[in-house]
Structure 1
Amino acid sequence: MRGLLVSGFAAIGAGSGAMLTLHASSNLDPLHSVISEYVWQSAGWLLPVSLTLFAVGSAFIAEAMRRAGMSRWIVALLLAWGASMFMIGAFPTDRPGVPLSMSGGIHRYAAFAAFMVMPLAGLLLARARIRYAKAVRILSALSLGVLLLVVIPYVVRMFGIPLSNDDIPAGLTQRAVVVIELGVLALAGMSLLKPSARRGVSPIMA
């Protein structure tokens, strides 16, 4: 159990390091430029590396959750988040101004799926009364709230209203969702570090 968690945290930490290095070596504006656009920078290869490491970390923590007797829904949602992260990296977005391609479409919907499933997993974890349940519940609710801000511009564009990322803090809201969801994943793993916390899991959710 501890080996799985340590491996999961190591993968998440390495992925975060790769993401920060990518941002530091790029000249894009993080307030308006979404994370996906960084793939076209000179160090853009770090983006799929980072997302793949997040996926690996999620898989390790999901397996730890399974061994701890957590709900199969929680395990499935964590695995779905990891699979979505891998898909986001494997299918890059389109360059700005280019019509939506198949790769860009897969990228977009995988990102939306990832943003949705982690807060759902967090709410189930909080309901199971894990350690840090209150913090997980707050972060999950906050993630859903910020996700709404991410989705609104896409809905506005569907009605033919021109709205570019330069007009809104698209990069900020997207990064907020990613950071919050990584926080939910980290707390999920940390909740299993204490044996007494594992024994206190609600049997209803197991």
Structure 2
Amino acid sequence: MKGLLVSGFAAIGTGTGAMLTLHAEAGLDPMHSVISEYAFQATGWLLPASLTLFAAGSALIAEALRRAGMSRWIVVLLLAWGTSMFLIGAFPTDRPGVPLSLSGGIHRYAAFAAFLMMPVAGLLLAQAKIRYAKAVRILSALALGALLMVVVPYVVRMFGIPLSNDDIPAGLTQRVVVVTELGVLALAGLSMLNPLAAQRSQGGVSPVLA
């Protein structure tokens, strides 16, 4: 199981590095530019590469959780989050001002699904009393709060009220969601690397329980 976790962390770390490189190279305003817009930059290929690595990391950590006897719902949610991340990268969004296409629709709803599933998984992890449960609960709550702020502008536009990303910190709120959800995923894996948890596992107690 340690090999799964180390590989998962390596995938997440590499994906984070690719994402940071993309942000540094693109030079867009992270306060207002949503992450999807980076796909149209010269180094835009780093976006699907990063999201695919996040998906791989999630799958590896989910498998480690499954082997540790964690709830099936948590494992399914982590796998679904990873699948959604892959779809977000595989189906790019539409350029600004272009009508919603099939690819753009898949991208949008996969992103919403991913943004919703990880906080739910985090709350279930906290309920299972994994190590770092308090931190996981806080990150999950922050992710849900930021997700609400991401969704509100779309609801406002549905009522015909013009609202562009330049009018709101759309990029910031989206990044808060992504960072907090990666934090939940990382803590889920770290909770099983704790030496005390490993000792309890040898004594017949699940390594994911505090």
TM superposition score normalised by structure 2: 0.94
Q: Which runs of 5+ in 2 are unaligned?
A: none
Q: Distance in 2 between matches of 1:21 and 1:87?
A: 21
2:133 corresponds in structure 1 to 133
The correspondence of residues 18-33 of structure 1 with structure 2, limited to 5 A, is: 18-33=18-33
**2:186 alignment counterpart:** 186
Q: Which residue number in structure 2 is paired with residue 15 of structure 1?
A: 15
Task: Find the aligned partners of 2:106 and 2:74 in 1 and give their Cα distance.
Answer: 24
Q: What CA distance in whole angstroms lies between the structure 1 residues aligned with 2:83 and 2:153?
A: 25
Distance 1:22 1:93 in 2: 17
1:117 to partner: Cα distance: 0.3
Count residues with an aligned counterpart: 202
Q: State the partner residue of 1:82.
A: 82
Cα displacement string for residues 77-126 of structure 1 (whole angstroms, at most 9, x for unaligned residues): 00000000000000000011101000000000000000000000000000
1:108-187 → structure 2 map (5 Å cutoff):
108-187=108-187
Ranges of 4+ aligned residues in structure 1 off by more than 6 Å = none
Using the TM superposition, give the Cα deviation of residue 28 of structure 1 relative to its aligned residue in structure 2, in angstroms: 1.2
Cα distance in 2 between the residues matched to 1:151 and 1:83? 21
Partner of 1:55 in structure 2? 55
What's the C-alpha RMSD, in Å, of the aligned pairs?
1.0
Q: Distance in 2 between matches of 1:147 and 1:180?
A: 11
Structure showing greater relative contact order (alpha-carbon pairs closer than 8 Å, 6 or more residues apart): 1
AA paired with 1:82? G
Per-residue CA deviations over 1:157-201 (Å, capped at 9, x if unaligned) read 000000000000000000010000000000000001131465355
Contact 1:131 1:197 in 2 (8 A): no
Aligned AA (1:8): G
Secondary structure at the counterpart of residue 139 of structure 2: helix
Per the alignment, in what secondary structure is the counterpart of residue 26 of structure 2?
Answer: coil
CA distance in 1, matches of 2:10, 2:39: 23
In structure 1, C-alpha distance between the alignment counterparts of 2:132 and 2:36, rounded to whole Å: 31
Distance in 2, matches of 1:92 and 1:181, equals 21
Measured in 1, the distance between the counterparts of 2:129 and 2:169 equals 35
Q: Distance in 2 between matches of 1:196 and 1:151?
A: 43
In 1, Cα distance between equivalents of 2:200 and 2:89: 34
Structure 1 residue ranges without an equivalent (≥5): none
Where does residue 40 of structure 1 map in the other structure?
40
Please give the alpha-carbon distance, in whole angstroms, between the structure 2 residues aligned to 1:98 and 1:153.
Answer: 18
> Residue 137 of structure 1 aligns to a residue in which SS?
helix
- Structure 1 residue 27: deviation in Å? 2.2
Identity rate of aligned residues, in percent?
80
1:122-168 CA-partner distances (Å, limit 9, x unpaired): 00000000000010011111110111000000000000000000000
